[in-house]
Chains A and B, each alone.
Chain A
Amino acid sequence: MWTVFGCLVPPLLLSVFVFGVQVLFIAAVSVLSCMAVEAASQKMLGRPLTYLDGSAALTGMLLAFVIPPGVPILMPALGAVMAIYIGKHLMGGLGYNIFNPALLARAFLLATFPVAMTSAWLPPITDGAIFTYLSGIDGMTTATPLAVLKDQGMAAFIERFGEPRDIYMSFFLGWRPGCIGETSGLLVVLGGLYLMYRRYITWHIPVSVIGSIAILTWIFGGESLFGGDPLLAVLSGGALLGAFYMATCYVTSPTMRSAQLVYGVGIGALTVLIRLKGGYPEGICYAILLMNPLSPVLDTWFKPKRFAPPLRGEQ
């Protein structure tokens, strides 16, 4: 789990570079409070202390990744209590939680502090930026691209962020407002590919999530059928972060590869549904939380193929 943690460090550092040093404080508070809550929960529930195994630290890092960079410093600490104590230990501890703890905490914070969670965006720091072609953007941009696209339409979006063609690159490299971890698609994908190379995760969930988001947005996301912009849909919001790091959580996803494909497509479809028809600009968090409890069901539907059936119907 420390390996996954390590994969999240480069996007964090970029986020510090983009949004400023307070990102580092939020991440530190989040990670340390998750570990502290883990230790306290285990002490309280009489379980063996495992707060150093990387599991709580990883949850803390992921929690920091899904909150805006400008929130009060105590919010991630409160989120940690929700994620680790309620989301993990009251559900039975490591391996038995139904929901992804980090996303559960994000949903909790979004419901409890809706203003901070949807407006504490920071503009990317543009002084001395290497991406000077973006300097034309209003320095005080404080809405996420998806929110602008949803509330004000494509024209306003283009006015704000430039032609889609230009912003693919800036989104991919990380120069845009958003949650701490969803800045750079490139670093998220690189980390995910490394996890695949090390065989910690397989391609099934990321590919089915990203693929279904792209295809469904292409079909339904535009003014006419097949007029949506699949690349923009994948690069914006937390789609890549969710597909590589949240949906692949071992505990809350199905174990069979075939079931994982169904699970991934379910997440992708719900994400697009929420983005296009729901009340929120971004949908992957709720999409994953809605698919999480279906994992045990999928696991009973999809069974590995036994070597060879017995003769004459014996068990």
Chain B
Amino acid sequence: MAPTFSFPKGGVHPPEAKAYTEHLTVEPLPLPDEIDLILSQHIGAPCVPTVAKKQEIGEGALVGTVEKGLGVPLHSPVSGTVKAVGNCVHPIRVSAPAITIKVDKEAAPIVWQQSSWEHLDAQALLGKIKDGGIIGIGGAGFPTHVKLKPPADAKIDTLILNGAECEPYITADHRTMVEQTDKIVEGARILLTVLGINTCVIAIETNKPDAIGAMSEAVAARPADGMDISVAALSVKYPTGSEKQLIQAITGRKVPAMALPSAVGVVVHNVSTTKAVYDAVVLDKPLLEKVVTVSGGGIERPANLLVKVGTRISDIASFCGGVNERCERVVLGGPMMGFAVSTLAVPITKTTSSILFLREDEIDTRPLSACIRCGWCLDACPMGLEPKEAGIYVEAGRAEDTAQFGVFDCFECGSCAFVCPAKRPLVQFIRLAKMKAKRS
């Protein structure tokens, strides 16, 4: 047994609950009647629509552009007619600017032509990645081309592909690694070429032995390219897929607070993002669709689906046999970091990895009580923070004074709230603390 990698401080072991979907092949979702493309798909400036109402558009057509602030273009994943350029429901902001498209189900799907990329230089490859609208689809949604252009003074030596997928339930990256193995390896070679480096580590948690096996075989079977690509097994512990924890586990380096991974010479990309990079560079295919895990005890037929960006949850739920009466809560994203949604009209975005339909026995709805200072959150926090103090300060109306407890280091993994015996919503407290502390 090869050694496994892990991070030393904090972390928790929530029930994995991946058995629902980990062996299910990704199946394409039939085209829905309508889709909603939210113009702000990710961190950074929202897109400006380039289409007008009633305009006919083809699959892959540009529908939104943005030049400033970390923006990437937005493409239509379907052929159809623009029904409205207005608003749609948003999981967090309630309502958000969006383009609604009526889908033409009769249009022939585009066949994306393969082309070789080896002759292209880093600049040309970067251009293709940006024009393809590629962002980190593992969750955070940071534009991929920005990550690939580290500051001039940073000496990058290692690329890490994140296949940890440490959130319970989600198996989207897992299935992508098993089914699209060669494309991920090819994508890794593209990323290494763009970065001008040689070393790539593909990090996968040991609860996905088939993915580790498939990736190892594909890495070994690739043509001789002089690159040093390897697969590393991670111990199963949440949140080992967090960027800073992953870098520490693999390289032993600690990314300083408020700094990016490039400060320690590392760039991290998700494995599914790497597959999207392959699509954008080799097939000239923009980011149009997403593997989404539909899971939980509240849905009739859990599945891994290939879904067009903008598809509403209601269409996905009815394809999966509908929501059963025991479903208590619908969560967009994983159970640890995701958001509960109040309506199935919400469309998925480029960063949606899962939709969970959770039963009462899969969630905890007991009311919160006072903090008894047990200190379990201090043990669980991978960043060495004091969630309990931040929570007590927020409750006492002193959210502005919480910077001393390191709230800005918090990446909201939810480990503290998971272990809290008083069921305190510590992540929500810290979000509030960050907002108020930033303002003061």
A-side interface residues toward B, CB under 8 Å? 50, 53, 93-96, 250-251, 253, 255-256, 303-311, 314-315
Contacts and interface: CB of A to CB of B under 8 A. Distances in A.
Contact of B384 (A95, A306, A310): A306
B382 interface: yes
Contacts of A50: 369
Contacts of A309: 256-257
B9 interface: yes
Contact of B256 (A256, A303, A305, A308): A308
Contacts of B384: 304-307
A256 B383 contact: no
Contacts, number: 69
B255 interface: yes
A253 B373 CA distance: 8
B381 interface: yes
B370 A93 contact: yes
Task: Sort chain B's interface into a size bin.
Answer: 20 to 34
B258 interface: yes
Nearest to B392: A95
Q: Interface on chain B toward A: helix, strand, loop, or mixed SS?
A: loop
A310 B371 CA distance: 29
Interface in B237-261: 244, 254-259
Interface stretch (B102-110, B172-180, B321-329, B402-410): B402-410
Contacts of B378: 255-256, 304
Interface of B: 9, 244, 254-259, 263, 369-375, 378, 381-386, 388, 403, 406, 408-409, 422
A306 B409 contact: yes
Contacts of B422: 95
A88 to B, nearest CB: 11
Contacts of A251: 372-373
B258 A310 contact: yes
A253 B403 CA distance: 24
Given A255-B386, A307-B254, 4 more contacts: A53-B369, A307-B257, A307-B383, A308-B256
Contacts of B263: 311
Given A255-B378, A309-B257, A310-B259, A304 B386 contact: yes
A250 B259 CA distance: 35
| Central interface residue in B370, B382, B388, B403, by most chain A CB within 10 Å | B370
Contacts of A250: 372-375
A204 to B, nearest CB: 10
A237 B381 CA distance: 38
A309 to B, nearest CB: 6
Contacts of B244: 307-308
A315 B257 CA distance: 9
A255 B257 contact: no
21 contacts: A53-B369, A95-B369, A95-B370, A95-B372, A95-B373, A250-B373, A250-B375, A251-B373, A253-B373, A255-B373, A256-B378, A304-B381, A306-B409, A307-B9, A307-B244, A307-B257, A308-B256, A310-B258, A311-B256, A311-B258, A314-B257
